[in-house]
Amino acid sequence: MCLAVLCWVLVDPRWRLLIAVGFCGGYTTFSSYAYETMAFFEQGQWTLMAANFLANNVLACGAVVAGMVLARVL
């Protein structure tokens, strides 16, 4: 049963689009964020590292809250 569902999920074009755009897009975005933060760390640029870390996390949380508010309004 699980194998049939897995095959359907992987074959249906809508799921393939979701996986390709959603998962892979999120993965590459996180990789870029982690790379940039660690590059600042390795270069000893503590202020830029902290600013990058805080800005990314604060803006991400703000986007989540904005999405939740928008979902309730709609």
Residue 11 lies in a domain: no
12 versus 55: which is more confidently predicted? 55
Residue 68 lies in a domain: yes
pLDDT confidence of residue 10: 59
* In the predicted structure, residue 1 carries a pLDDT above the cut 50: no
pLDDT confidence of residue 61: 94
Alpha helices in the chain (DSSP H): 2-11, 13-17, 24-42, 46-73
- Angle CA 36–38–32, to nearest 5: 35
**Domain span at residue 63?**
21-73
Per the structure, the count of domains in the chain is 1
Residue carrying structure tokens 């998962």: 23
Q: Quote the pTM value.
A: 0.60
Residue 1 lies in a domain: no
Question: How many residues can be counted in the chain?
Answer: 74
Alpha-carbon span 16 to 53, nearest angstrom: 32
72 versus 33: which is more confidently predicted? 72
